[in-house]
Every structure is written in structure tokens, then in C-alpha cells.
Amino acid sequence: MGHPSLGNGLVIILTCMLLSGCRERQAVASKTCSPERIASLAPNITEIVTALGLSGRLMGVTSQCNWPVEVSSRPKVGAFWYPNLEAIIAIRPDLVIGLEIPSHCLVAARLQRLGYRCLLLRMDRLEDLFAAIRGIGEAADCTVQAKGLCDELEGRIMSHGEARPRRPRVLFVVQRRPLRVAGPGTFIHQAIELAGGANAVSVSPYRYPPISTEQVLVASPEVIIEPAGVEDVTCLANDPFWAMYWQVPAVACGRIYQVNQDLVSRLGPRIADGIAQIARCLDGM
Amino acid sequence: MGLPRSPGVWMGCDLGTELGRQGAVLTPMALVRRSSIAGLILIVAMCVALLVGPVRVSIWRAVASADSQDRLILSGVRIPRAMVAAITGAALSGAGVVCQVLLANPLADPYLLGVSSGAGLGAVLVGLTASGPTILGLSAMGLGAFAGALGALVLVWSVARQVYCLGQTGLILAGVVVNAFLSAVIMIVVALARSDQVYATLFWLIGNISEESMGLVWVAGLAVCVCLSGLFLISGRLNLFCFGQQQARLMGIHAQRIQWMAFGLAGLMTAVAVALAGLVGFVGLVVPHAIRLCLGPDCRQLLPISAIVGAAFLVLCDTLCRVVVSPAQLPVGVVTALVGGPVFVLMLLRRARGFRPI
């Protein structure tokens, strides 16, 4: 077939523009029981989907999805914080799974308008992880696997920090400048508790509060943990950034550690490994 | 077709000649010809936006099958998005022309009238309490931004009315003060709010073109068209503001009435643009200047042609946003500055080379 002339192309485009409003009204929500083509809008959702044994049905992931390694080569549907509607439609998903965050809510609203089935999950605390696994299990018709994964995760998560005589105060730093740490109400706070520690910033109206030098001194953490691009726990005893906090016990004793950011910052099935890394920091590696 | 009459004609001179390029009298035919060229540029830009994207789309498949993915991407994603970009670009460029003329300030842009901070405050406050789409699929943040922008306009209007004796300076100062005050309120809300939603709202405000429902697109398009038409009708009188308010009054026009009318219509257009796409910068400042450099400062052609070219410019910038780092996307405000800045400097340099001091 030859190339269309400009005139014909214009007529077609203008016709499409006029019909575009009609197309929305014709859209019918496709309610399939067992989705065969899943699009994931977040790395932790990708990890849950693959942990449920649905890797073969995962047709689209975000640019940040890097685990398991084989999903890195799957078609991309944009960035985690800014999904691309067109790229999502291009993979013809019958289930789109995202988080209850503003950018995902907006994309989901637009997809639903076009007739796509979307599942949005709240992922703030550890109990949300189990609810999300069960939710995805129901949506993807694999409730048995979901229950099995929940049971296994629960067992692994609860296995840390039992024999510790005293809970060391932990400062979990999510950002250095300005200093921002994990506060109460976060799953990291719960992870610290489950690992056998106590969050040094346990009272704050914010979930990830920015704190001053004075507050660091008052919190007096015995262990400082930072997520970073490292595979395993790494000690940062002589880091110049922390030298100014020399009065803090964690700095004085050289108990500053980096942990794998993908394990501790993503609320997914690998959070159990993240808790294990935090526990090792508390044990002094 | 008759052009809006410029009062200067009654004074024995044609402002088309006085304000425009040397010897270039603005006739209805010239305006139609130039507007048609601008319209053609917009059509080409729309075609590019519809044909280019992160996914390869076949027009023929889209036409042949109603259920094809190509049709869905074209009608459900690219067309609404291109139209949102066009409406936003037209509104900001048109409002930019009015602000620069009204305030006799080359640095004026639509956000100088307090709209940006008003929209920001509205979006942040709504972002703390509501989520999800509301009227016609417009997000709660968009609705909050629209209400905030209108509120700020009313505030600027009220202050400026009290200091009208100061002329254009009074209006500029009112806008600047309201902007500063509302920005401070935003900072207080951000500092005290316990919600992460605030940060998401601020990110949205940077300016992002996105796919809206066609109902919303048509309503917004109609509102901007009505405002542009109203401004076009008074564009001849707006020309006289180039000489200052006093001169405008001396030339026989009711300066205050025209000023408030232009202020209200430009503000409404800007509020619509902000509700659709957040605070997209640079378009309202640079496009009117670029058209002024090419065609001269006569508002009767500057206004419609700036609106059409502004629409084309934002459609092309948004297309770049979609494909440059595909499938990720860039905020459109980044691209408008990155692309528009160098192009504008080149135009300025070309103009400067051709300048012969008397």
C-alpha cells in the first residue's frame, strides 16, 4: 500500500478528532477473571507479581523495575512516578496494577475511562503488603499462591530480633541534605522494630521528617543506617559527613551502615531480606 | 471582514503603520493571510503530535478497525493530549500579549497577575483534602488551581482598583505583592502539612500536559476561544496602551474599562490553562515577543497569531516531551525553556544584526 497523501491524512485525523469523544463513551470495562497480560506501575508490585509465579503474564514494567533480573528486559510503561499512558495501552493489558499515589490515580482514572481494568494498592505499612499480595492474588485468580506467599513472608519477617536483650536506638536516614529520616507510621519503622531495634525518631507528625542537627543529638542514635546502592551491609565508620555528629554514640562507635536500598525501601516480598540486613547492622554485622 | 477599529485612525494616523514594521499597514487581507499561515503551522504541529509518539501507530489501522489499539491510542491518548497542549499554549500566549501590553512591561507574563501563586495555593490546599477526578474528569488539583487562580485575580483586582491612580505601576505592584504573599502562604502550608500529597501537588504544578476527558477539553477550548474573541474585539484599543494609560485616555478611550476587561479575560484564560496543565512557563513570555519581532506590535494581529503559534509551539514541545526519553516523559515546562530559549535568542540576534541606528 502506498503512503497516504497529506490531504487524506488530514481528513482521517480530523475525523478521528471528532470521533474521539465517542470512543470514550463506547469503552466498556473488560472484566476478565484471570488476567493474561499484566502491567505493573511500581517495582514492588513487579516483585509481588513475580513472587506469585505470574512472571510469564507480566507484559509491562517501569524503568525502575530491576528485580527479578529477567523483568528488566520487558517492555517499559514509563517511570514509576510518571507512567506513560500510551506505552501502557500499547502492551494491551487486561490488568494494570499501581499504587495509591496521585500520579498512578490519575493514570488509572484515564485508563478506566478507556475501558481498562485497574487495581490500585495502598502500600504504606507492612500489613498493607499482605493485603496487597492477597488483592493481587484475587485479581489474578491465584489466591492459593497468595496465601502461601503471605504465610512464608510472615514466618521470615517474624524470625528476627527475638534474642536481643536491649533494643538499640536506630536512625534510618533516607536523605542527607537536608537530613530526612524514617519516622513513625512507616514500614521502615516497623522493619526496625521487627529487626530488634527502636526507631530513634519515634515521635513526629511526619512520616519522613526533616530533622535538625539538634534533633539528631537529642535522638542519640546508637546505630545509623542509610539505604544505598550496595549489595550487602557495608560499614561507613569514617564517613566525613557524619564526623560533625561526633557526640552521637553511633558515630563515636563507628556504627554507621549502608544497606541495600532495593531491599529496605521497597515494600515487597524482599522486605524480609531487608529486615535481615537491618538486624545484621544491629548485631554489628 | 473588518478589523477592530483602532482609535488612532481617527487621530489622523494608522497605528498599523505606527506600531508595525515600516510600511506594513495591517489590512484585513494581510491579517487573514498571516493567520492562515499560523493556522497551517498549527495543523502541521497537530499532525506531528498525532503521528509521533513512543508507540508506532498506523493511521490506516486506526481508521479500519474501531477496536484496534491504534485507534485507542490515537483517539484516547494523542488527540486529547494534543488538544490540551494547543488550548494551554493558545491561552498562555494570548494572555502574555495582553499582560505585556497592559503593563507596558516586556518581562510581563500571565503569571505576573498573581495567578501562579493563587493556583499553587488552591492546588496545595485541595491536594491535602481531596483526590481523584472531579468535574468532567478534571483532577481535584486542577479544580483547586482554577479556583485559586481566580481568587488571586480577584484579590489583585481589588488591590489594583484602590491604587488605580498609580497607573500600570499600581497593577504590576498589586500582582507582585499578591504573588509574594500567596507564595509565603504556600510555604507555610508545605511546612506544616503532614501529608506527602503536598509534594506530589507541587510536582504537578511544575507543568505537565496530560490526557484529559474530551468533555473537559471541549469546555476549556470553548472558554479560551470566547476569551480570545473578546480580547480581539478590544485589541485595537489595547494598542493605545503602548503609549501609556495617560496617552490612551487622551486619545479618547475609556482606559480603565478596557484595562479591567482585558485583565479579566486574560486572567480567566490563564486560570483555564493552569487548571489543565499546571504552571507551564516560558510560553506566555517568549511567543508574543517572537511574533512581535517578526510581525510588529499591532495587537490586532499579535493577539490571534500569538495564540495560534503558541498553541503550535506547546503541541510540538509536548511531542518532544513524549519521545525524547521514551517511555519516560519530561515535564513540558523544561522543554519549552530548552527549545524556546535558544530559538528566541537566535531571533533576537538576527533582529539586532538588521538594526541600523539613526
Per-residue pLDDT tens over the stretch B39-81 = 999 999 999 999 998 888 888 888 888 778 888 889 888 999 9
Q: Which residue has the higher pLDDT, A4 or B191?
A: B191
In the predicted model, is pLDDT for residue A220 greater than 50?
yes
| Percentage of chain B modeled with pLDDT above 70 | 85
Contact between residue B110 and residue B263 where contact means Cβ atoms under 8 Å apart:
no
B98 CB near a chain A CB, below 8 Å? no
pLDDT of residue B5: 57
For B244-264, what is each residue's pLDDT tens digit?
A: 767 777 777 777 788 889 989
Mark yes or no for CB contact B72/A89 under 8 Å: yes
- Residue B72 has a pLDDT of 87
The more confident residue out of B348 and B18 is: B348
pLDDT confidence of residue B188: 85
Separation CA A204–CA B314 (nearest Å):
43
Please measure the distance between the N-terminal and C-terminal CA atoms of chain A and give it in whole angstroms. 67
- Best of A12, A106, A120 to mutate (most B CBs within 10 Å, chain B): A106
Q: Does B319 touch chain A (CB under 8 A)?
A: no
pLDDT value for B132: 56
pLDDT at B62: 86
In angstroms, the separation between the Cα of residue A94 and the nearest Cα of chain B is 13
- State the pLDDT confidence band at B31, using cuts at 50, 70 and 90: very high
Q: Residue B164's beta-bridge partner residues? A: none
Residue B102: per-residue pLDDT? 84
Residue of chain B whose alpha carbon sits nearest to that of A60: B327
Q: Indicate yes or no: CB of A20 within 8 angstroms of CB of B73.
A: no
Does B196 lie at the interface with A, CB-CB under 8 angstroms? yes
Higher pLDDT, A11 or B196: B196
Give B 129-158 residues with CB within 8 A of chain A: 131-133, 137, 139, 141
Question: What torsion, rounded to 10 degrees, do the Cα atoms B133, B138, B140, B146 define?
Answer: -170
Cβ atoms within 10 Å, residue B63 = 20
Q: What pLDDT, on the 0 to 100 scale, is given for residue B79?
A: 93
Find the CB nearest B73 among A77, A90, A101: A90
B-chain CB neighbours of A87 within 8 Å are 54-55, 326-327
Does the structure show a pLDDT above 60 at A3? no
Task: Give the pLDDT band of residue A176 (cuts 50, 70, 90).
Answer: confident
What residues have CB less than 8 Å from A11, skipping those under 6 apart? Answer: none
Instruction: Say if CB B329 and CB A82 are below 8 A apart.
Output: yes
Q: Give me the residue label for grid cell 485583565.
A: B263
> Quick check: A14 pLDDT over 50?
no
As a dihedral over the C-alpha atoms of residue A250, residue A255, residue A260, residue A265, rounded to 10 degrees, the angle is -20
Torsion of CA A193, A196, A199, A200, to 10 degrees: 170
Rounded to an integer, what distance in angstroms lies between the CA atom of residue A239 and that of residue A248?
14
Q: What is this model's ipTM?
A: 0.72
Cell of B79: 488527540
pLDDT at A28: 36
Distance CA B277, CA B142 (A): 8
pLDDT one-digit tens code per residue, A140-154: 999 999 999 999 999
Question: Which helix (H) or strand (E) segment is A169 a member of?
Answer: strand A169-175
Q: Give start and end residues of each alpha helix (H) in chain B.
A: 15-19, 28-51, 59-64, 69-72, 79-102, 115-129, 140-162, 168-192, 197-205, 214-233, 235-238, 245-250, 255-277, 283-295, 299-324, 332-353
Interface test with A, best of B61, B75, B196 (most A CBs within 10 A): B75
pLDDT, chain B, mean: 83
Instruction: Report the pLDDT value the prediction gives residue A113, as an integer from 0 to 100.
Output: 86
- pLDDT at residue A261 in the model: 95
Instruction: Using an 8 Å CB-CB cutoff, list residues of chain A that contact chain B.
Output: 1, 4, 9-10, 12-13, 15-17, 19-21, 23-24, 26-27, 63, 76-79, 81-82, 84-87, 89-90, 92, 101-103, 105-106, 109-110, 113-114, 205-208
Residues of chain B in contact with residue A92, where contact means CB-CB under 8 angstroms, are 69
The pLDDT, as a whole number, for residue B26 is 78
Evaluate if residue B24 carries a pLDDT over 80: no
Judged against a pLDDT cut of 90, whether residue A48 lies above it is answered with yes
A17 or B302, greater pLDDT: B302
Owner of C-alpha cell 505583592? B177
Q: Which of A251-265, B42-56, B122-136, B262-276 has the lowest mean pLDDT?
A: B122-136
Average pLDDT over residues B304-315: 96
| Closest chain B C-alpha to A21 CA, distance in angstroms | 5
Q: Which candidate in A5, A8, A13, A94 is best for mutational testing of the B interface (most B CBs within 10 A)?
A: A13
Closest by CA to B125, choosing from B92, B99, B151, is B151
Which domains does chain B possess?
7-353 (1.10.3470.10)
> CB distance A90–B69 less than 8 Å?
yes
Domains of chain A and any CATH numbers:
28-156 (3.40.50.1980), 169-282 (3.40.50.1980)
* pLDDT for the residue numbered B51: 92
Q: How far apart are CA B132 and CA A187, in angstroms?
A: 25
Report how far residue B300's alpha carbon sits from residue B7's, in angstroms, rounded to the nearest whole number: 12
Q: Could A17 and B79 be called an inter-chain contact, meaning their C-beta atoms sit closer than 8 Å? A: yes
Banded model confidence at residue A45, pLDDT cuts 50, 70, 90 = very high
- A vs B, Cβ pairs < 8 A, gives 119
- Mean pLDDT lowest for which of A222-226, B67-71, B80-84, B205-209? B205-209
pLDDT for residue B4: 65
pLDDT higher than 90, residue B352: no
Nearest-Cα distance to chain B for A19, in Å, is: 7
Select the more confidently predicted residue: A31 or A38: A38
pLDDT at B241 > cutoff 90:
no
pLDDT band at B135 (very low <50, low <70, confident <90, very high): low
CB-based contact (8 Å) between B55 and chain A? yes
Facing A21 at nearest CB: one of B54, B62, B214 = B214
**Stronger pLDDT, B357 or B334, i.e. the higher one:** B334
For residue B170, what pLDDT band results from cuts at 50, 70 and 90? Answer: confident
Q: With cut-offs at 50, 70 and 90, classify the pLDDT of residue B2.
A: low
pLDDT digits (tens, 9 = 90+) for B3-14: 665 544 433 334
Considering only A211-215, A278-282, B198-202, B336-340, which range has the smallest mean pLDDT?
B198-202
pLDDT at B11: 35
Question: Mind telling me how many Å the CA of A103 is from chain B's nearest CA?
Answer: 8
B354 close contact with A: CB closer than 8 A: no
Best-predicted range by mean pLDDT (A3-12, A80-89, B66-75): A80-89
Better-predicted residue by pLDDT, B4 or B163: B163
pLDDT the model gives residue B13: 39
Confidence (pLDDT) at B6: 53
Residues of B in contact with A1 (CB under 8 A): 60
